[in-house]
Structure 1
Amino acid sequence: MDDADRAGIDQERLEKAFLTKRTETQPSRPSAKQCIECGVDIPEKRRQFMPGVQLCVECKTLSESKR
């Protein structure tokens, strides 16, 4: 097993742990299929990782930078 294999395995473990943690906390609303700010489609993978997500990555980054 080389470094790339180990990195892939580590990534899979992190994703599973993250998904498990996310599913333990129920979102207050369902994930939006489109960003409520700009209307761009929110990818399925983001909606899986972030249950209840309402913003695309760009709008979320922008809103956090304004805080």
Structure 2
Amino acid sequence: MATGWAGDGAVQEQIDATVKDGIARARSRLPSGPGLTHCEECEAVIPEARRKAIPGVRLCVACQQARDAEEAAFAGYNRRGSKDSQLR
């Protein structure tokens, strides 16, 4: 049942678009190309098990954790906006 000007599937379409965007963003951050034996930021040795588990890896665990923490600081805002934020 549609309410206002929204189509019948508008909510589900928004959810699907948000999930699709999230998947595309995650895939774009995956390493690609040849992996490195030493971290490109700190020159620490990247263990062989990590290189096998993540093809194309370029960072050691410590540097990857630091980068993930930096990215998490910016992950809290909703680009599409929630219904509550539109009503304010």
TM band (smaller chain): 0.5 to 0.7
**What are structure 2's unaligned runs of at least 5 residues?**
1-30, 72-88
More RCO (CA 8 Å, sep 6+): 1
- 1:1-67 correspondence runs (5 A): 28-67=32-71
Rg bigger for which structure?
A: 2
- Normalised by the length of structure 1, the TM-score is 0.58
- RMSD of the alignment, in Å? 1.1
- Normalised by the length of structure 2, the TM-score is 0.45
**What are structure 1's unaligned runs of at least 5 residues?**
1-26
Tell me the matched-pair count. Answer: 41
Does the residue aligned with 1:40 lie in a helix, a strand or coil?
A: coil
Which consecutive aligned stretches of 4+ in structure 1 deviate over 2 angstroms post-superposition?
none
